[in-house]
Structure 1
Amino acid sequence: MVYKNNWKYFQEDLILSYLANMLRCEEGQSGPTYDSLQDVIDKKSFRPSVNLSSPTITNISFTLYAILGVVSQSQILTTFLWLRLYWFHEFLIWDPEACDGITKISLPVKDLWTPDIIVYDVDDDVSQACPYVYVNHTGHIRYDRMLRLVSACNLQIFSFPFDIQNCSFTFGSYMHTIKDVRVSPALSFKEMTVNSKRYLQASGEWELVDILGDTNILKFGIDEWDIITFWVVIKRRPILYVVNLIIPSSFLMIIDILSFYLPPHSVDRSSFKMTLILGYTVFLLIMNDLLPSTANGTPLIGIYFSVCLAFMTISLLETVLITCVLHHNSMKYREVPHWVQVLTLNAWFFCPLASGTMTLDVPELRQISQDLREMNTYLSIIRKEDHLQNQWCHVGYILDFLLFRIYLLIITGYALVIICMWCIWMNQ
């Protein structure tokens, strides 16, 4: 019966309906009678509402008890929740004064109607449901469930190991539309966050940042379902990866930089750098399992390692170039090009040797003079070779100094960019 214009009659009708549906309590019994409860149990197949046109409100809250694992390859989040549902049963109402002051009883959940609330975005749901529910004398029911959820989550791993993930849990009725079942949060999102942080255990490398939520309507064809979505924001604890990945890689890069202080004319520098590259490659192979990987992205730390390996390779090529300048036999009789002189030696001048002629009339003196000229020519050639070798050595040292400073400047800039990006993500 609908009352549109007379609110007094409508209130009276509600009071009479309330009194008619109250459970009976007999003398000597603590709580409603078995017969009155049996009447409720017999109606468990029907939604507990006097007026079936009014929906049943289901309040939902949960406590995030544990973050069991995050698998980046398959985009899977595994969590353990304490789920709590509240709803109003219009046929489970009694007067505590007539029932020895009893205000709460527990009943088997299989004997009562329960809302079919499920988690939509879940791959696997391992539920440890409590076999009983708590019923208040006002008809409000509380039902607790422990859920191990394996849910899909769009993981963003670019900022690994300083990444923050935002995963969603969507709760709603499976069969009942918005006309029959409505959902709403039982607690504020801040209260759920505080409770979860208080009881969060076995979180491993993850910590809870916040729990957010919103209610929405799911439309499918002409039907609509009321749903509520919780966003669980979690943050990775990066200390494990900083110690095992970033610090060892930084040490190897520092050793590569310090290797430039080895004598460039020694072949030990090139062999040392080759050994260092080999060691860094083995390090990456060993630590590859610690790096997350997905089909839609690569973490920044993977790019960081690749660039570090590229820098080491460039460093080795620089050493090969300097060694070639210092030790290549084809440069023995070749003068330093003019543009190299301008870039490295600035300017230099050759001072020609003074030569004179002398007329000899005596044959013996003429022979001696010829021998001396040949010896002078030979010594000039040797001095010129030594001078050219010294020039090439000078060019090699200057190039080594210049390329080392450029290499050091590029690495410093690269390190500052990476550190700034990670610091920004850590402070989000």
Structure 2
Amino acid sequence: MGLKHAISTLILLMASLTVVASGNVTDCDQRCLANILVKKELLSAPQGDNCTIIVNITSIQYETLSFDTKEMHMNSRIKINMQWKDSDLGWLHDKYRFPTVVLPVDKIWTPKIVLDNALDTTMEPYTNDVQVRRDGVVEHAIILFTAVSCEINLFNYPYVFGECPVAINGWSQRFCSLKLDIADNVSLVGGSRGEWQTLSVTKIVDKLQADRSYLLVTLSINPFGAFVTLILPSALIMCADLVSFALPFEGGERNSFKVTLVLSFTMFLLILNDHLPHGGNCSPLLHYHFSFCLVCLVLSMLISIVLTRLSVDGSIIPCRRKKIHPSNDTETHGGGKDTESGQRNDNIDVIEVKSGGLTSELASLQKIVKFLEKMDKDDNDTDSTAAFSYRVDKCCFLFFLTIYILYIIILICITRTDICKVNNLDFWDQSSSEDYSYDYLYYSSE
């Protein structure tokens, strides 16, 4: 009986110890474990032997929100999923059986991402919680709203294709640093925004310095809208000016039409002035195109005005009065004295012939013949001047037609060449690597 009692007591004692031991594991749930980790107040970065923190960027989602063509600013939204290890946040499996817990994001240290070429950056946590695994690995996600300065070659606007870097890095000081290990898992969200379209996003690592990496964003413009509102109206106005040579320049109808074209094109430029991109160092060829069109329209208008005067007065000299026809007695106020007296005598003789008071019929007939011959000569001179004006007008038409054809050929050749080049990575070349890393300014999520 004594041996049986001793064995029973030992079994009961071992069972009670097992219950107590198992109670130490199960009595604390995940919230309890999370509160224990929060009470540690691990708000500083994990301190390793070499004072270097490595953060793994597991994936990046990039989205272009807008692109300001006049100011050359690109606004983006970037979601970054990251992991890092903080050994102080780990726990033993024998003590706590939970593989992961969730902690408030503001109760532990989180890394701050640096955007080297950003004009303005706002960093927000994707959620207010982070996930911590048993081995101390923390999984976190942030959202970056950033604006970067990006100069794109707009020389061939609206047929534009360019690339913008978004430099995402850690920080580095003289002895300590935060290094980012960015995976190639970069995806694009929402490719089309207005006239600009994001074609691709690629992670690029600098060949000279591996700690410099950036996202290369490839952009292009949908040329349809700009073509319809900018290029097509100017081309149609130039075609209308070329076809206007079919109008007669007598009477001023062509002049009125050409003046209307010039005024319309001027108003067209004034309206579109705020919409035309500046382009920075690579000014769009469209500015020079509009200047060429305006010069050609004004030159065509001036030539038409000069031809009108040539056909009417027989001269292009300004401030010169029109020649007076001998039959218009009421307009004989601008000629010389001899011309006035000769015309007056001729008119008197004609009147005398009509009234029957002629003393010599032969002399009167001779004067009438001279008068008619002079009228025929003036008419022939007028016809000759008009014919010459039309020949000059035809030459002007051929001249403008040739100029427009050559202009189109030259324009196509220029747009095929890569004249202007831009460098959007010059923000890394302004200082040495040591000074650059020592003077890092990084953004906080507060």
Given the two structures, how large is their TM-score scaled by the length of structure 1?
0.72
Identify which range, 56-65 or 398-407, moves more after superposition: 56-65
Give 5+ residue unaligned stretches, structure 2.
1-23, 317-321, 324-358, 419-446
Distance 1:276 1:97 in 2: 89
Which residue does 2:269 correspond to in 1? 284
Q: Would the alpha carbon gap of residues 39 and 316 (structure 1) be closer, same or farther in structure 2, given more than 3 Å must change?
A: closer
**Match of 2:75, SS?**
strand
* Paired residues for 1:297-312 under 5 Å: 297-312=282-297
1:396 aligns with 2:381: no
Which amino acid in the other structure matches residue 205 of structure 1?
E
Q: Distance in 1 between matches of 2:207 and 2:112?
A: 17
Once the 2 structures are TM-superposed, how far is the Cα of residue 28 of structure 1 from its aligned partner? 6.2
Alignment counterpart, residue 193 of structure 2, candidates 196, 200, 203: 203
Pair 172,156 (structure 1): closer, same or farther in 2 beyond 3 Å: same
Supply the distance in 1 between the matched residues of 2:315 and 2:164 (Cα, whole angstroms): 65
> Does 2:311 align with 1:326?
yes
Deviations 1:341-368 (A, max 9, x none): xxxxxxxxxxxxxxxxxxxxxxxxx954
Q: Secondary structure at the match of 2:162?
A: strand
Counterpart CA distance in 2 for 1:375 and 1:35 is 127
Once the two structures are superposed, the pairs formed by residues 107-146 of structure 1 within 5 Å of their partners are 107-129=103-125, 130-146=127-143
User: Does the 8 Å CA contact 1:72/1:155 hold for their aligned counterparts?
Assistant: no
Query: How far is 1:157 from its partner?
Result: 2.5
Taking structure 2 as the reference length, the TM-score comes to: 0.69
Distance across 2 between alignment mates of 1:116 and 1:98: 33
- Contact 1:48/1:91, CA 8 A, preserved across alignment: no
Map of 1:350 onto structure 2: none
> What is the CA-CA distance between 1:404 and the residue it aligns to?
0.4
Secondary structure of the residue aligned to 1:62 is strand
Aligned to 1:339: none
For residues 55-101 of structure 1, give each alpha carbon's deviation from its aligned partner in whole angstroms, at most 9, with x where no partner exists: 3322334322232332523x32222221233323344456779865x
Judged with a 3 Å threshold, the aligned counterparts in structure 2 of structure 1 residues 96 and 69 are, in CA distance, closer, same or farther, namely farther
Partner of 2:144: 147
Aligned partner of 1:374 in structure 2 is 367
Relative contact order, higher structure (CA 8 A, sep 6+): 2
Cα pair 1:218 1:226 within 8 Å, conserved: no
What are the superposed Cα offsets for residues 291-313 of structure 1, whole Å, 9 maximum, x if unpaired? 11255453211221121111111
Q: Give the count of matched residue pairs.
A: 355
What's the counterpart of residue 404 of structure 2? 411
> 1:196-275 to 2 correspondence within 5 Å?
196=188, 199-200=189-190, 203-216=193-206, 226-275=211-260
What is the CA–CA distance in structure 2 between the aligned matches of 1:417 and 1:96, rounded to whole Å? Answer: 76
Query: Could you say which residue in structure 2 is the equivalent of 1:5?
Result: none
Percent identity reads 24
Using the alignment, how far apart are the partners of 1:202 and 1:41 within structure 2? 47
Residue deviations 1:355-393 (CA, integer Å, cap 9, x gap): xxxxxxxxxxx9544434333332222222222211111
- The match for 1:69 is 67
Residue 96 and residue 227 in structure 1: after superposition, are their counterparts in 2 closer, same or farther (change >3 A)?
Answer: farther
Residues in 2 aligned to 1:217 and 1:171: alpha-carbon distance in whole angstroms: 16
What secondary structure is seen at the aligned counterpart in 1 of 2:403?
helix
Q: Which amino acid aligns with 2:84?
A: W
User: How far is the alpha carbon of 1:290 from its aligned partner?
Assistant: 1.2
Write out aligned runs for 1:84-103 (5 A): 84-93=81-90, 103=99
Seen in structure 2, the aligned counterparts of structure 1 residues 202 and 215 have a Cα distance that, compared at 3 Å, is closer
RMSD over equivalenced CA pairs, Å: 3.6
- SS in structure 2 at match of 1:377: helix
**Structure with max Cα Rg:** 2
Amino acid at match of 1:26: V
| Deviating more after overlay: 370-379 vs 160-169 | 370-379
Q: Describe the shift of the 1:37–1:385 C-alpha distance in structure 2 as closer, same or farther (beyond 3 A).
A: same
State whether structure 2 residue 166 is matched by structure 1 residue 169.
Answer: yes
Task: For residue 320 of structure 1, give the secondary structure of its aligned residue in structure 2.
Answer: helix
The answer to whether structure 1 residue 385 and structure 2 residue 378 are counterparts is yes
Contact in 1 for aligned 2:37/2:89 (Cα 8 Å): no
SS at match of 2:273: helix
